[in-house]
Amino acid sequence: MFLLIGEDPYRARLRLAELVASLVAGAPTEDSAIARWPSPSLGMTLGVTRHDARSDSVDAIAMSGRSQGLFDAPDERRAVVVENAEALTDTSFIAELPPESALVLVTTERVPAGRRRPRAKTEAAAPADLVGAVEAAGGRVERIGRLFPDQVPAWISARAALANVTLQPAAVTELASAVGTDTDRLEQELAKLSTYAKGETVTVGAVRALVPGAIETEVFDLTRAVVRRDPRSAVALLERLLGEGQAPQQILALLLWQFRVVLFASAMKTEADGERMARAIRSSAAAIGRWRAEARRLSRSDVIRAYEALYATDLAIKQGRTDPETALMLCVLDLCGVANADPRELVVGEPPRR
């Protein structure tokens, strides 16, 4: 008897598939490192009955554990899987299931441990105490938490090996930075990269080109170098982005967005300010907050001046006054405070200066 509490839904589904396969095969049920389990699909495994506690009655679930299928072999192992188990309103059937039936309850809710106090007759029905019921019946409770950021690269490497795709070490780091701890999305991005690579090693450039969020991380670093007035780092980052085939207009648009966040971060005084500003620019308070320290390096006039340079660069590219790469390089140098790199001089009908 098992209760799987999955704070990470994808990893919980992997553990469920691994556990059910072990139960049906009579194999050990300990977690054998779910990073190596091939798929969360239960398929059409014989001897497995699946229920959803939101729609199936407790009686139907209990019956599945007590009755043998018409075509089941006498010694066939049976497993009853109950998903969304937090919706159960009665757990008394758990202790009544026959020993030859395995029960796996699955929930993505955070179920509190310990028994609840008896409720009064006038009190609304509380959710069933799953943890207490399973433990009282001698079952096992497993909590499948989310990965910590430092665990993501190892998870990516393990899942990539299963998908028969090889990533450069730097590409693993880039993918982890772009996607974070979302294991479901990591699986999708690895499938995409595997299809793209066709047996070749996945490079950092491929990750940045194919994975949403990867280039944003690089442009964040570029913006930070600019804010710190570090032209050496800024130029190196820009040349790397351009060398990987990133469009200058896309880099410019992301720079503009980052400076918009910096502008709001420079005016942020309290956490409440961050929440309000985040709603105004459709960002997050965390995104504004992480720029708060950097924004102190800039005055309001510095940010406005940066906007003027970015706007002028956009106009210069659209007017065809120079090639986009040169215009963007001038813009970055100007933002870093390098003398005589003003992109506003490229514009016909120069934008107003402040």
Domain boundary pick from 120, 144, 168:
144
Burial label for 227, CB within 10 Å (0-12, 13-18, 19+), is buried
Average pLDDT over residues 1-23: 89
Q: Hey, how many other C-beta atoms are within 10 angstroms of the C-beta on 118?
A: 6
Residue 107 has pLDDT above 80, yes or no: yes
CATH number at residue 316: 1.20.272.10
Residue 11 in domain: yes
Describe the crossing of helices 152-162 and 183-197 by its angle, rounded to 10 degrees: 50
pLDDT of residue 155: 94
pLDDT at 38 over 70: yes
pLDDT at 270: 66
* pLDDT for res 82: 92
Range of the domain at 204: 149-210
What distance in Å separates the CA atoms of residue 89 and residue 130, rounded to the nearest whole number? 10
Checking if the pLDDT of 284 tops 70, the result is no
Q: Does residue 171 share a domain with residue 113?
A: no
Q: Is the pTM higher than 0.75?
A: no
Structural domain includes residue 100: yes
Instruction: Assess if residue 333 is contained within a domain.
Output: yes
Same domain, 164 and 131: no
Measured between alpha carbons, how far is residue 278 from residues 218, 282, 283, 284, 315 in Å? 22, 6, 5, 5, 28
- Within this chain, do residues 179 and 267 fall inside the same structural domain, yes or no? no
Q: How far is 4 from 27, CA to CA, in rounded Å?
A: 18
Cβ-contact 306, 343 below 8 angstroms: no
Number of domains in the chain: 3
Question: How many Cα atoms sit within 13 Å of 211 on the Cβ side?
Answer: 33
Same domain, 160 and 242: no
- pLDDT for residue 44: 65
In a domain, 230, yes or no: yes
Co-location of 333 and 221 in the same domain: yes
Q: What CA–CA distance (Å, rounded) separates 175 from 169?
A: 10
323 and 223 in a single domain? The answer is yes
Question: In the listed set 170, 193, 210, which residue is the last one of a domain according to the structure?
Answer: 210
**Model confidence band, residue 190 (pLDDT cutoffs 50, 70, 90):** very high
Q: Phi and psi dihedrals of 105, rounded to 5?
A: -95, 135
DSSP state of 167: B
Question: CA-CA distance, 185 to 312, in Å (whole number)?
Answer: 38
Task: Please tell me whether residues 132 and 182 are part of one structural domain.
Answer: no
Task: Decide which of 113, 144, 175 is a domain's last residue.
Answer: 144
CA distances from 312 to 167, 234, 300 (A): 39, 19, 19
- Based on the domain organization, do 35 and 108 belong to the same domain? yes
Task: Looking at the structure, tell me whether residues 236 and 339 fall in a common domain.
Answer: yes
Average pLDDT in the 122-135 region? Answer: 62
pLDDT number for residue 118: 43
Q: Domain holding 29: CATH number?
A: 3.40.50
Q: Which of 151-155, 188-192, 204-208 has the lowest mean pLDDT?
A: 204-208
Over residues 261-270, the mean pLDDT reads: 73
pLDDT(275) > 80 = no
3-state SS, residue 6: strand
Q: What is the mean pLDDT of residues 87-103?
A: 84
**pLDDT 10s digits, 43-86:** 766 678 889 998 999 889 888 877 655 445 555 567 899 999 88
Residue 352 lies in a domain: no
